[in-house]
Amino acid sequence: MELELLRLMHMNRLYLCRDENRVVDETDVTMLARQRRTHDIMREVGLKMFMEGSRVINLQDVCDIMLK
């Protein structure tokens, strides 16, 4: 559920961080904090999956599947 909220925050923040040329400001503190938390969650999920015997190859694929 936290990943879903972070994804929603990301979509909303992308709209706010764009300039007139539709370029996203990559240095926005809120975006960086959201990205860091998402990576932390995915690292935790990957570690739990690994400890349960699953072969975790690509955490981005796991994230995409979780958010479908």
Q: In which domain, by residue range, is 24 found?
A: 2-66
Residue-wise pLDDT for 39-68, tens only, equals 999 889 888 888 898 877 788 888 887 777
Model pLDDT, residue 40 = 93
Residue-wise pLDDT for 16-37, tens only, equals 888 888 888 778 888 899 999 9
| H/E element, 8 | helix 2-16
Whole-number Å distance between alpha carbons of 36 and 20 = 27
Q: What is the pTM of this model?
A: 0.75
What is the number of domains present in the chain?
Answer: 1
Model pLDDT, residue 37 = 93
Whole-number Å distance between alpha carbons of 38 and 4 = 10
* 24 DSSP β-pair partners: 18
Whole-number Å distance between alpha carbons of 41 and 60 = 11
Model pLDDT, residue 46 = 86
